[in-house]
Amino acid sequence: GLLALEPSQFWINPDCGLKTRGMEETVRALENMVTATHLVRDRLAVKN
């Protein structure tokens, strides 16, 4: 995808399945997603 689009055109979204998880597992998954988003944006030098 990054070969065809600019990094700023990518959006990070949770996958399906959060409704079937418990609250603790959902919060952990979302925290991991936010952490991963920050790491990738830092690596690609994407400004918000």
Q: In this structure, is residue 26 part of a structural domain?
A: yes
Task: Provide the pLDDT for residue 47.
Answer: 64
Distance CA(23)–CA(2), nearest Å, equals 33
Domain count, the chain: 1
What average pLDDT values come out for the chain (48 residues) when binned by 10 residues? 78 82 92 90 76
Q: In this structure, is residue 35 part of a structural domain?
A: yes
Q: In this structure, is residue 15 part of a structural domain?
A: yes
Tell me which amino acid residue 36 is: A
Task: Provide the pLDDT for residue 46.
Answer: 66
Answer whether 0.85 is exceeded by the pTM: no
Q: In this structure, is residue 2 part of a structural domain?
A: no
Q: In this structure, is residue 11 part of a structural domain?
A: yes
SS3 42: helix
Task: Provide the pLDDT for residue 24.
Answer: 94
